[in-house]
Chain A
Amino acid sequence: MSVAERPAAGDTSGRGAAFHSPSTEGATGIVEPLIFEASHAGRRAVRFPAPSNVAREAAARQPALPAGALRVSAPSLPEVSELDLLRHFNRLSHLNHAIDIGFYPLGSCTMKYNPKVNEWAARLPGLADSHPLDPDSLAQGSLELEWLLAELLKEISGFAAISLQPAAGAHGELTGLLMTRAYHRSRGEGEQRTKVLVPDSAHGTNPATATMVGYQSVTIPSNARGGIDLEALRAALGDDTAAVMITNPSTLGIFEDQIDQVIASVRAAGAIAYMDGANLNAILGRFRPGEAGFDVMHFNLHKTFSTPHGGGGPGAGPVGVSPRLAAYLPGPLPLLVNGDPDEVRRNAWANRSTPGALFALEEPTARPESIGRVRAFTGNFGMFVRAYTYIRSNGAEGLREVSDDAVLSANYLRVRLADAYDLPYDRVCKHEVVFSGRSQKRANGVTTLDIAKAILDHGIHPPTIYFPLIVEEALMIEPTETESLETLDAFVEVMHGIARQAAVDPEALKRAPQTTPVGRLDEATAARRPDLRYDLGAEPTPEPVHVEAGA
């Protein structure tokens, strides 16, 4: 790397050395230089045509850009060839773990296989080149797809109406609580209902969302069985409660077996029952939150409906609502303005268009009670294409099988690992199971972090760790339905092996991982002395003394 960081002789760009083959450091480390370090003045990947003389002459008759608004020096973007570019990103890609490479049992994230036909569909020029402001007459396919997806999500969830607009789960939460407030205001209770009740097992997004909407979040404890403490909930509910946010199945992977009473209590208090739909993958065809009495739920299309996570996004977080919240949905909604909905659905399910059917985007003034737009346009359409493709590929039968196999796989891991790790809530789980590494920590000083890092050395992504917060040394495992029995068994072997090693050689686990491109990283220094960008003007960082792996 020292070679890469020093400007090469003859390099007049001032931006660093030539691209070179990745250097190998330590036992396994492959370091790819920053793209800036590969830059050579005058090198380029893409060229554009020059304006024609006709264009230039015509342009000269118009006002020029004001000199005072012009940039003095060009931005220092990298200058590389197309091949250099491609190799750089291909090499970087090799440093990632991904579903397409190996097992990814990251609890709460539903890292299932992302089918490739979905990608084919999203790239169809007729969909990808559709401008969101094209007149509706030109966008009938986009509008029909959105309308059909909303119809399917209604059927799957049991809700009365859907807005596809939110871009992610947390964005759906924001949408849900803004609608909650609009609802209470419409009843003259906007000022009085100021609290959002959140179980102690909830995702951090729930309380963070409450704050963004100006609500105060109140934590509700879990009971000894890992469910919501119904008595504590009832005691906290009152005429100051705006909403209760419930993740069901919970982040412990447990279905709230008193959910009917929970919902009834929330509604009796005049509050909105919000379901965090992050774990919908467990209950397709088994439990429809809208039918059960929830008022609002966000879907995570990037979890349940297999759109790829993309290294952190994009996702899509549509919301479904009960009739009493439908007026407040963000718009514009895609509408069927001419045609019989039953006929349009019937035809579409037979892959046919309906003659005379007409779709349109709702007018901005159509629903004055709407909370407005939560983002530009109708949402992350590319994700809608993938989710629609996935739902149609699976059909009712396939979606039921998704949840059945996800739950079966998680329970299989629950019983297979129970002899090696503590299981704080030993009961049938849904799509995920939460173990605790507390015994390993107490007996051998091996933390859950050590266990996670050791898992990396087996080519497996670790489970979610230290979440939910109510489980000490938590290991949250979500296998998903797309992993074979052989993969699950191999994972069980790895986890058993790590538990054995914790007992006999805990220090080895503290040195893990050994086989990854880099070892454990110094996060404290990263936060204390933030280095958040490549700085062209900065002095080169002095190279640390290099320590060979194993030394």
Chain B
Amino acid sequence: MGYSPHTPADRDVMLAAIGAGSVDELFDDIPAAVRSTRFEVPPPLAEQEVRAELARLAGRNRIPRISFLGAGVYQHLIPSVVGEVIGRAEFSTSYTPYQPEVSQGTLQSIYEFQSLICELTGMEVASASHYDGATATAEAALMACRLTHRDAIAVSSAVNPMVRRVLATYCSGPGIEIVELAADLGEGGSGLTPVSGAAALLDDRFSCLVVQQPNFFGGIEPMHELAEAAHASGTQLVAVVEPTSLALLEAPGEYGADIVAAEGQPLGIPPSYGGPYVGLMATRMASVRQMPGRLAGATRDVQGRKGYVLTLQAREQHIRREKAASNICTNQALCALAATAYLTAVGPDGLREVADLSVTQARHLASALEAAGIGERRFSAPYFAEVAIRLPDAARRHATLAEQGIVAGFVLAPDYPELPDTLLLATTELTTDADIEALVAALEATP
């Protein structure tokens, strides 16, 4: 119990110096009327006892032996070296690098992170991190409103529904209107955001069009055309991307994205029941002063030596208070470090292999399900590493398989009533041929 080093003798020394008779006296300033009447926290545990308790809770989870669940969170290989790096106490037990002379390790690693995200996205500047992909997307939309002085945003219905809910919460603050742009989800539909629909909808009310690539169903969106449709009315394009896909797919900077937001979890961060993850955000230099979040920049010290500092802080709450670009303070620095170590560990070839293998296994999976007559692809458009499959009694069979330790992806109907009996199945480089065979066999055995 307890991590205080003070012995009774130490406390006596301190009390004597203060001139107090007891520690209780130091709390005399709490008005009697509002002092605690109870504090029924359970008694302390020794390390072996607390370990037993945490092992009990961990044991109550049943981690599936095979999972095709993605929907925004993906189980990739996390190279052992990534855990080694973020396990360094010099990184994990330091604070925000406000004193740069003793924070060069953190600051340089943030600068490297920003550089890597710029490389991946083809953008000019990236922030030091946000809470997660959903809040990064919401902040990107608010940023677009500030940049364009417009107060409506358009969002494709093929953007992750979880992200759209967070977007709605954030926009409810300043009263920004959200208009949904319906994706082509009808029978025989592509599953993509319609370019014609975007062109018809967008006008000078809209600050941005939010589109996800690959979209929530894994579909490859026509980003060039959507960017063009947005820009025709001076509307910005907010591209929500999946970072490992950028090994193969065009960088958002190439198709004209104005702001990029992403969930960085696939880059070396475990699913951990929803967090901590890391939100990525990138944009053009011209927009940097409206970008929320910390930024590290290179400079020189008094002797001319290269060093790094937090910079452009005039955007931030601790300087600007009510005029800040956002209220964000604490971010997800250690997770950004994990992403930095991950991208460095895999390198360009490794990231391409991850993406290749994920894409190949998604196609293998779809072919296997179709060949066995279990289900069919719901949408016609080419997809990345996630695919929507229609099959009879999807929700019931999904639940049955879960009890066998196989999670057959994500049931779409609760979020998309127009997509009954449809499962969204994800693959990564960790998906094996045997996993796919096991899923096919389990579904065949569960008609």
Contacts and interface: CB of A to CB of B under 8 A. Distances in A.
A415 B18 CA distance: 6
A336 to B, nearest CB: 13
Given A126-B58, A287-B30, A312-B294, A379 B275 contact: yes
Given A99-B94, A382-B272, A85 B104 contact: no
A314 B357 CA distance: 31
B27 A377 contact: no
A26 B273 contact: no
Given A48-B354, A95-B108, A96-B102, A313 B54 contact: no
Contacts of B109: 89, 92, 311
B330 interface: yes
Interface string A44-82: 111111111011101111111110111110111111101
Which 6 pairs across A and B sit closest by C-beta, in order of nearness?
A: A377-B274, A126-B58, A310-B334, A395-B44, A141-B60, A59-B363
A377 B90 CA distance: 29
Contacts of A169: 329-330
Contact of A257 (B29, B114, B309): B29
Contacts of B438: none
B322 A210 contact: yes
Interface in B132-176: 132-135, 142, 162-163, 165-166, 168-170, 172-175
Contact of B106 (A26, A45, A311): A311
B302 A407 contact: no
Contacts of B346: 44-46, 77
A499 interface: no
Contacts of B299: 521-523, 525-526, 531
A503 interface: no
B4 A402 contact: yes
A287 B50 contact: no
Given A207-B321, A416-B17, A26 B303 contact: yes
A374 to B, nearest CB: 6
Interface string B399-428: 100110001001000100000000000000
A313 B173 contact: no
A263 B33 CA distance: 12
A373 B272 contact: no
A494 to B, nearest CB: 15
Given A114-B92, A372-B168, A66 B382 contact: yes
Interface stretch (B122-130, B202-210, B227-235): B122-130
B318 A45 contact: no
Interface in A391-425: 391-402, 404-405, 407-409, 411-412, 414-416
17 contacts: A97-B102, A109-B95, A123-B83, A129-B63, A131-B67, A137-B403, A138-B407, A144-B60, A204-B324, A287-B36, A372-B165, A396-B44, A408-B14, A411-B18, A456-B99, A484-B5, A531-B297
A373 B169 contact: yes
Size category, A interface: 35 or more
Given A70-B250, A133-B410, 5 more contacts: A69-B250, A89-B85, A117-B51, A139-B273, A260-B31
Interface stretch (A151-159, A230-238, A318-326, A438-446): A151-159
B186 interface: no
Nearest to B288: A530
B287 interface: no
Contact of B305 (A51, A126, A519, A527): A519
Contacts, number: 745
B131 A375 contact: yes
Interface in A107-133: 109, 111-115, 117, 119-133
Given A98-B89, A138-B62, A518-B101, A372 B172 contact: yes
B302 A288 contact: no
B177 interface: no
B45 to A, nearest CB: 5
A351 interface: yes
A306 B299 CA distance: 33
B288 to A, nearest CB: 7
A141 B273 CA distance: 10
A398 B106 CA distance: 32
A62 B306 CA distance: 51
B445 interface: no
Interface in A198-216: 203-205, 207-214
B344 A80 contact: yes
B337 interface: yes
A54 B273 contact: no
Nearest to B333: A312
Contacts of A98: 89-94
B52 A351 contact: yes
Nearest to B108: A92
Residue from the set A49, A380, A388 with the largest chain B CB neighbour count within 10 Å: A380
A16 interface: no
A483 interface: yes
Interface in B345-386: 345-354, 356-357, 359-361, 363-364, 366-368, 371, 381-384
Interface string B1-36: 111111000110111011110010111111101111
Nearest to A218: B322
Contacts of B217: none
B350 A517 contact: no
A85 B29 contact: no
Contact of B26 (A372, A374, A408): A408
A259 interface: yes
B63 A138 contact: yes
Contacts of B2: 393-394, 397-398, 401-402
A125 B329 contact: no
A100 B43 CA distance: 27
Contacts of A187: none
